[in-house]
Structure 1
């Protein structure tokens, strides 16, 4: 892109806005696809649990967790794009008066996150360079260290979540399953509210499915 080359502020912002809108549509398509994939994995997980194939169900539950986190990341990406678009409209109004853009910490923070999102990375890196030329943002330090610290407990978090997600997916199904699909001596009380179950009760419930 070569947007900041003898163009008026409103022309530049319109160029950026169109590019950001294209990325929004791309994210929307990714979200729809991810939603269908997660729903399919949830359905497959239920099937595995019904067949008492708990190890396979837990693998699928882990994939559901990753899929949901991916969707959350895409929703956050959309929010950051919206933040940039809103700020740039404000910048355009001020630039019409002063003849120049002003530095924006808000845009800098949003762009620092967007340039690391794989789905929009290329476009955002180009926009980042153009915004630096225009004076909206300064050269940004890589805050990958902050990201690394944030992801430090990701694997452990996934391990902690997987049983809860599996319980959520199969919840309401156990009382519909044939009684002979579960060992009689380890039948479960399907009426116990999930929020009242502690970790030990949850482990016992999953163990009964393995047996």
Structure 2
């Protein structure tokens, strides 16, 4: 209905424009006739035509006013159309929200949220424990590697070899290699006094292990 009324208003505005343009053309002709009659001295005809010209101009002015009013009405109809569209959209949204509220089980939703929070906390705790375990494992591995390097360095200094060779060698071989350690250290120190106490303590700890 709004579209139909707006269409009729636009049609009426176009018709007013055509009538106004026709009156303006008639006004130009009337002015030319008045000038012609005035030159000929026919003053009675000039007065009659002048009255017609005044009425013509008043009609043009009224048409301008009527066009403005019709345009205002057309604008109001457009505003009403927009308002109606917005109201329809709000009605649809309200209907959808009402349906969602009917279907939504609030206690069940609260239970789901609590269960989600509980499981989320458990997952965070598990992740932290796994992270700590991995850190501890990597830390122990690093310390063990560092310990092996230190033991191998000590064994190399006293001339026994690395830890792998010492572990794989027979027992008799390990005992036989013991006397050779003292001469090697003695030569390194210029025959000063045997194995250093710190190195001896490390070697004794290695044998105990």
Question: Shorter-normalised TM-score: what interval?
Answer: 0.3 to 0.5
With normalisation by structure 2, the TM-score equals: 0.40
Between Structure 1 and Structure 2, which shows a larger proportion of helix residues? 2
| Bigger relative CO (Cα 8 Å, ≥ 6 apart) | 1
Q: Name the TM-score, length of structure 1 as normaliser.
A: 0.40
Larger Rg: 2
